[in-house]
Amino acid sequence: VQLTDTLSVDQTGWHLTEIGWNPDRAVAVGSNFLCGNGYLGYRGTTPEQGAEDYVALVVTDTYDCADGLWRELTTAPNPLFVAARRGAGPIGAAMGDHVSTSLDLRSGTFSARYEQVIDGANVVVEVERFASYDNLHLLAQRWRLRSDSALTLALDVGIDGQVWSLNGDHLPSTVRTAHGDVLSAVGTTGESGITVAVAAAGSVDVNGELLEANETVDADGRIVRRVMVDLTAGDEVTVRTTAAVVSSNDVGNPADRAVTIVGEGIEQTYDELVDASCLVWDRIWEATDVIVEGDIVSQASLRFSAYHNRISAPAHSDHLPVGARGLSCQAYQGAAFWDQEIYNLPAFLFSEPEIARNLLIYRHRTLDGARRKAQRLGHRGAFFAWISGVTGDELCPDFFFEDVLTGRPIRNHFNVWQMHVSPDVVTTIADYVHITGDEDYLVDFGAEIAFEVARFLRSFVRYDDVRQSYHCIRLLGPDEWHENVDDNAFTNYQTHAALTFAIETHERLSTSHPDALSDLSRRLDLTDLEIDRWRHVRDHLVLPGADPESGLIEQFDRFFELEDVLPDTVAERLLDPEEYWGWPNGVAVHTQVSKQADVAMLLWLQRNRFPVEVLRANYHYYEPRCSHASSLSHAAFGMVALDIGEVEAAVRHFRSTATIDLLNTNDAVVGGTFIGGIHTAACGGTYQLAVQGFGGLQCLDGRLAIRPVLPPDWASLTYPVRWRDHRLSVAVTQTEIAVTADAANPGPVEVTIGDRAISVPAGESVTV
Ligand code: BGC
């Protein structure tokens, strides 16, 4: 099934293929066809390509600032480099015919194939590679060339230091060494002093017969073993590369470790390495795969989203964030935004809750960074970074975009005014504890975060003596084009919810874990008087209500006084298509045109606070005025559309969010800043919209509840569920809902379907 002129998916919904080589698509295809495992991301490029083709191996936990502005992850030297030449002529996808590149989502395998005519010989090149989930440092690749005539080739196989790096060179020099058959390149990041080591061993055989390298060449930042190959008609030459990347944040001696991993890897065949990784993928898909019958595009884009959300998550660690672009490139600095808590993490709550837990422990580990930020800006408690790396200190630069008309940098205030990330972390902790019942997390980590955020919020709000209420002054809500606003409805309600959770947690711990609470109180210097002050803020914080006549909630104070126009009209006012629309002077600033869902975020996340008429009125007011310029937008509107029974609109939002990367709909460069790569929030949003939206999966008052709404085109929707100690499968058709409980469950599972309470014994199935 064709998704675009060049991109298609097969009937299984697992296999994506791009036809042709088009340099204009290189950024998108390289990201879409990424191999990864939460530790590393290797872009979907072919082995002979280099920096100009956006080749990059992005490694987690390697933050470095090379240009004095952007602290981002390092791209390591490329250990999967294979270049073939015949005389002066190179062989490669860019010169080839019938080029196709593919990604198999089931096994995380990238492949490429092309043909080329060289000196009258027809050659076919095929490549296959994956990033191992069995050993997160390991990559393996098989490169094969077949010729129909005699041909002499020079093959360079090794490590290429000329890779894509967005903002400066993070490894200014590398030490390159040959240890027998294994090559290595080791460098240290210039500013942060992290050592990054890659190692690679490439074996070359013709029809299964191994060839020795003629020489090792070390030049231009590249170390390769050069092998001369004489082929006769019908011969096939295979280069099998086993590679590893390790940093000094992983082990004391990363170079030794990388060489050892490669040494162990070459003891196994390529197929054995694939199988070991696939065993892990099997477990992942068993926990997460959602099956849609009747709509292959939705099926494929849903799997694509689940794949990318999973490989962007550092499931192996509890001290690393999910990047807004995952490990697909360095854009957005490999760091967490509020996206992590609202989009990426909730996709794991009912499937792999231990990943959600790790991410929330990460927030605990970064509390000191959040405390430093609060203190620096004159507040108390924990003010989480808008862009948060490994320490939690703010990574977002003061000048984020540029005025493309004047070339002057724009002072955006994401790093000082966009404070809703702190309450967002707390409301997600509340959801996590509610859904998983993980009281230990709350006692060991969550309570401290909630208390420190409550402390921050109290210091942030301002009391207005005349109105006798608290206000959130001078901030940015979700809609980033409107900076310096007051009482953004979403932010105020999230602040209220976070304070409520902190107060309730305090009450809960005082009866269930009094000792832990008194330890924590001592450590944080927390008194009953302070909790009373939180209560005072909670009870007197202004919560912009719905207008009694129109039902509308004002996005922020005096929003309705702004010019009321639609995005298309505003777009006509642009002088340059790359102009930034927002603060201080962009075309949207004095209008009601929003960048992304804002009031809709409130209606999605706090839907129970508002009657359906209010949801409806606000959906219809804000949706046409929203330009959906952020990848976060459609999922939120989709959730609200479902709640007001507008299924067709929800399907439209689902398709838009699910295909942002596949159809490459969002601009890669805005206001002079590169923000391309995989939009991981949209991936998490797609999964949530499918399972928690159409699939209707929820936790209501501590019970599992299923209230599905199936799109008319979907014959069925089936998804797995992890619920406390139980595993279930839910299958929804247009007429029935079947819940099947795993035979290994510890007892029956209680589920509410619509308004009916059912109990499903282990190993049985109940259909409603
Ligand atoms: C959006 C933010 C988002 C960030 C990272 C921005 O374009 O406006 O809401 O957190 O991208 O995805």
Residue 711: asked if its preceding bond is cis (omega within 30°), the reply is no
In this structure, are residues 114 and 125 in contact, taking their beta carbons and an 8 Å threshold? Answer: yes
Phi/psi of residue 170, each to 5°? -85, -25
Ligand 1 contact, 338 CB (< 6 A): yes
Whole-angstrom Cα distance, residue 411 to residue 263? 50
SS3 284: helix
- Nearest residue (CA) to ligand 1, atom 7: 630
Residue 746 Cα to ligand 1 middle (Å): 42
Residue 590 Cα to ligand 1 middle (Å): 20
Ligand 1 contact, 343 CB (< 6 A): no
SS3 651: helix
- Nearest residue (CA) to ligand 1, atom 1: 630
Question: Residue 88: its pLDDT value, please?
Answer: 61
Return the ligand 1 atom nearest residue 337 CA: 10
Residue 208 Cα to ligand 1 middle (Å): 50
Ligand 1 contact, 424 CB (< 6 A): no
Query: How far apart, in Å, are the Cα atoms of 548 and each of 41, 613, 614, 617, 618?
Result: 51, 11, 10, 11, 13
398 exposure class (CB count in 10 Å sphere: 0-12, 13-18, 19+) = middle
| Closest among 87, 91, 157 to 124, alpha carbons compared | 91
In this structure, are residues 695 and 706 in contact, taking their beta carbons and an 8 Å threshold? Answer: yes
For residue 183, what are the β-bridge partners?
178, 200
Q: What is the DSSP letter of 731?
A: E
What DSSP letter does each residue of 181-245 carry, written as one string?
TEEEEEEE-TTT--EEEEEEEEEEEETTEEE--SEEEEETTEEEEEEEEEE-TT-EEEEEEEEEE
- Nearest residue (CA) to ligand 1, atom 6: 630
Ligand 1 contact, 324 CB (< 6 A): yes
| Closest among 543, 534, 414 to 491, alpha carbons compared | 543
Sheet holding 697-700, edge to edge: 697-700, 703-706, 749-753, 756-760
Residue 319 Cα to ligand 1 middle (Å): 22
Ligand 1 contact, 630 CB (< 6 A): yes
| Closest among 544, 571, 569, 540 to 458, alpha carbons compared | 540
Determine what percent of the chain falls in helix, strand and coil, rounding each to the nearest 5.
Answer: 35, 25, 40
Beta-carbon-side half-sphere exposure of residue 185 (alpha carbons within 13 Å): 26
Ligand 1 contact, 64 CB (< 6 A): no
Q: What is the DSSP letter of 55?
A: -
Residue 632 Cα to ligand 1 middle (Å): 7
Question: Residue 493: its pLDDT value, please?
Answer: 99
* Interval 467-523: pLDDT, tens: 999 999 999 999 999 999 999 999 999 999 999 999 999 999 999 999 999 999 999
Ligand 1 contact, 401 CB (< 6 A): no
Query: How far apart, in Å, are the Cα atoms of 126 and each of 123, 147, 238, 345?
Result: 10, 12, 9, 37
| Closest among 667, 150, 140, 137 to 401, alpha carbons compared | 667
Per residue in 214-228, is it b (16+ CB within 10 Å) or e — as a string? eeeeeeebbbbbbbe
What is the pTM for the complete model shown?
Answer: 0.98
Question: Residue 89: its pLDDT value, please?
Answer: 83
Whole-angstrom Cα distance, residue 727 to residue 569? 51
Query: How far apart, in Å, are the Cα atoms of 95 and each of 46, 125, 143, 448, 590?
Result: 12, 12, 17, 58, 50
* Interval 458-479: pLDDT, tens: 999 999 999 999 999 999 999 9
- Nearest residue (CA) to ligand 1, atom 5: 324
Whole-angstrom Cα distance, residue 337 to residue 324? 7
Ligand 1 contact, 480 CB (< 6 A): yes
Residue 401 Cα to ligand 1 middle (Å): 13
Query: How far apart, in Å, are the Cα atoms of 635 and each of 489, 523, 549, 651, 685?
Result: 19, 40, 28, 10, 5
Residue bearing tokens 């060179």: 169
Q: Are strands 174-179 and 182-188 parallel, antiparallel or unpaired?
A: antiparallel
Return the ligand 1 atom nearest residue 332 CA: 5
The two tokens of residue 408 are 């002057």
75 exposure class (CB count in 10 Å sphere: 0-12, 13-18, 19+) = buried
Ligand 1 contact, 281 CB (< 6 A): no
Residue 324 Cα to ligand 1 middle (Å): 8
The two tokens of residue 169 are 């060179």
Per residue in 104-113, is it b (16+ CB within 10 Å) or e — as a string? bbbbbbbbbb
Question: Residue 213: its pLDDT value, please?
Answer: 85
- Nearest residue (CA) to ligand 1, atom 12: 324
Return the ligand 1 atom nearest residue 386 CA: 10
Whole-angstrom Cα distance, residue 195 to residue 154? 32
Ligand 1 contact, 332 CB (< 6 A): yes
Active site residues: 480
Whole-angstrom Cα distance, residue 445 to residue 236? 57
Ligand 1 contact, 339 CB (< 6 A): yes
Residue 304 Cα to ligand 1 middle (Å): 20
In this structure, are residues 719 and 290 in contact, taking their beta carbons and an 8 Å threshold? Answer: yes
Ligand 1 contact, 331 CB (< 6 A): no
| Closest among 487, 626, 460, 463 to 554, alpha carbons compared | 487
Q: What is the DSSP letter of 690?
A: I
Q: Which residues of the chain have pLDDT under 50?
A: none
Q: Are strands 703-706 and 749-753 parallel, antiparallel or unpaired?
A: parallel
Sheet holding 291-293, edge to edge: 291-293, 716-723, 726-733, 737-741, 765-767
| Closest among 602, 645, 642, 607 to 622, alpha carbons compared | 602
Question: Residue 667: its pLDDT value, please?
Answer: 87
Question: Residue 224: its pLDDT value, please?
Answer: 98
Chain mean position to CA 172: 28
Ligand 1 contact, 505 CB (< 6 A): no
Which residue among 322, 332, 333, 337 has the greatest number of ligand 1 atoms within 8 angstroms of its CB, and so is best to mutate? 337
Which residue among 401, 480, 669, 679 has the greatest number of ligand 1 atoms within 8 angstroms of its CB, and so is best to mutate? 480
Whole-angstrom Cα distance, residue 750 to residue 332? 42
Which residue among 309, 328, 339, 665 has the greatest number of ligand 1 atoms within 8 angstroms of its CB, and so is best to mutate? 339
| Closest among 288, 289, 287, 291 to 716, alpha carbons compared | 291
Phi/psi of residue 460, each to 5°? -85, -40
Which residue among 630, 634, 670, 675 has the greatest number of ligand 1 atoms within 8 angstroms of its CB, and so is best to mutate? 630
In this structure, are residues 255 and 127 in contact, taking their beta carbons and an 8 Å threshold? Answer: no
Which residue among 632, 657, 661 has the greatest number of ligand 1 atoms within 8 angstroms of its CB, and so is best to mutate? 632
Return the ligand 1 atom nearest residue 338 CA: 10
Ligand 1 contact, 348 CB (< 6 A): no
Whole-angstrom Cα distance, residue 440 to residue 212? 57
Question: Residue 754: its pLDDT value, please?
Answer: 86
Query: How far apart, in Å, are the Cα atoms of 188 and each of 160, 192, 197, 199?
Result: 16, 8, 9, 15
- Nearest residue (CA) to ligand 1, atom 9: 478
